[in-house]
Structure 1
Amino acid sequence: MPLDKAKAPFTLPKLPYAEDALAPVISAKTISFHYGKHHATYVKTLNELIAGTAYEGLSLDEIVVRAAKDTAAKKIFNNAAQAWNHDFYWHSMRAKAGAPAGKIKDALEKSFGDLAAFNKAFSQAAVGQFGSGWTWLVKDKDGALKIEATSNADTPIAHGDTPLLVADVWEHAYYLDFQNRRPDYVTAWLDKLVNWSFAEENLG
């Protein structure tokens, strides 16, 4: 896991590539706004919200899991989960995506049949997600792979599943490059950006 396990105050993690590395699918301008403003604001707000609370001494993933069950900590959950989700999203992509291989290829074939079937199912979930949210490839508690769509800040780690990959389908993730054409963004993301090595690392 690349995610920062340090305690608060949290800092904005570095991107694993240059801001223009994912172009032309995701432009440097989109990364600048998405990472430099949206992601950075979640981190800043989280630090402000947890200062002086019981959450201040926890790691980011611990905050997400605990705050998900705490109705009084909804704002903390939203900002912690969005900080976590975004860092996971950046690592779910790479500049030159290849085909899945090894254990992740075998797991995909076992659960979906082949890569084309997975891409179709993932695209349907991502395009069909109403409003803002995320589309995940996860490993469930029984070890099977499944596709899961979550709304707003919700995240699989709050529910005991293990995320392998995620696509951000909030509009700010793609609107500067694709306007309202979410299907085109999802197709390009699957075809050109998926970091299958990261997925295999998370598979365990």
Structure 2
Amino acid sequence: MIELPPLPYAPDALAPHISAETLGFHHGKHHKTYVDTANRLIQGTDYEKLPLEEIIRKSAGKPDDKKIFNNAAQIWNHTFYWHSMAPRGGGKPDGKLAEKINQDFGSLEKFIEAFSAAGTGQFGSGWVWLTLAKGKLKILATANADNPLTHGEVALLVSDVWEHAYYLDYQNRRADYLATFLDKLVNWKFAEENLVRAGDAAKAA
């Protein structure tokens, strides 16, 4: 059975940048609904006892299992998103992540410009990710529930650009929401931990 993971901080911890009301709806209703629906859909199927990531990979691209994929992937995406933000986040990355961003994007400013452009340019609902693909950092925009697991890439960081992620606080100003995400909320430590973990896994392979 898939469980709804708790937020990694208090519901009001990201205020005033993201309100407790937004997090309450987003986590307590949207995220929870994905969990409840996925559990109902996988009951009595071959997916029932599989780990969440395996459910996502096995159901991806199968028309008969599209609803299972959509709900399972959205559970994973939202959990990753909560950890991609932190109270008193933002600022600048350091260590290996900062070096890698400078190496692969040219500068932090160029990364921010490209990430923002991908997020604002994503038509309709979706996500904008910082990923590691074949040893290089990459920005990946995905529609609806799609995520890096289906592209063979390692997720390091994500921002949710579905309207329910920001509409109560920013209305239709997605660009302002993304600017605030990068300036005030982004959890660089989480992204670096994912980068280091990916490097360790590559060495062990």
TM-score range, shorter chain: over 0.9
Matches within 5 A, 1:68-147: 68-97=60-89, 98-140=91-133, 142-147=134-139
2:40 pairs with 48, 53, 60, which one?
A: 48
Unpaired runs of 5+ residues, structure 2, are 197-205
* Cα displacement (A) at 1:131: 0.3
Partner Cα distance (2:54, 2:150) in 1: 9
Tell me which amino acid in the other structure corresponds to 2:93: P
Structure 2 residue corresponding to 1:32, chosen from 21, 24, 29: 24
TM-score for the superposition, normalised by structure 2? 0.94
- Of 176, 182, 195 in structure 2, the residue corresponding to residue 184 of structure 1 is 176
Matched residue pairs, number? 195
Partner in structure 1 of residue 201 of structure 2: none
Write the distance in 1 (CA, Å) between the matches of 2:55 and 2:151: 13
SS in 1 for 2:67: helix
Distance, in Å, in 2 between the alignment partners of 1:41 and 1:53 is: 20
- Structure 1 Cα separation of the partners of residues 68 and 158 of structure 2: 21
RMSD between aligned residues:
0.7
Q: Runs of 4+ in structure 1 displaced over 4 angstroms?
A: none
For 1:129 and 1:67, how far apart are their aligned partners in 2? 24
Q: SS at the partner of 1:10?
A: coil
Match of 1:172 in 2: 164
Q: Secondary structure at the match of 1:14?
A: coil
Any stretches of 5+ residues in structure 1 without a counterpart? 1-8
Q: In 2, distance between residues paired with 1:60 and 1:151?
A: 19
Please give the secondary structure, in 2, of the residue aligned with 1:150: strand
TM-score (norm 1): 0.94
Name the SS of the counterpart of 2:142 in structure 1. Answer: strand
2:15 is aligned with what amino acid?
A
Letter of the structure 2 residue corresponding to residue 128 of structure 1: G
- Give, as a single letter, the amino acid of the residue that structure 2 aligns with 1:171: E
Counterpart CA distance in 2 for 1:143 and 1:15 is: 30
- In 2, distance between residues paired with 1:74 and 1:132? 17
Q: CA deviation at 1:87?
A: 0.1
SS in 2 for 1:47: helix
Find the aligned partners of 1:114 and 1:159 in 2 and give their Cα distance: 25
Measure how far apart 1:137 and its partner are: 0.2
Instruction: Work out the CA distance in 1 between the residues paired with 2:64 and 2:126.
Output: 22
What amino acid is aligned across from residue 116 of structure 2 in structure 1? Answer: S
Identical residues among aligned pairs (%): 62
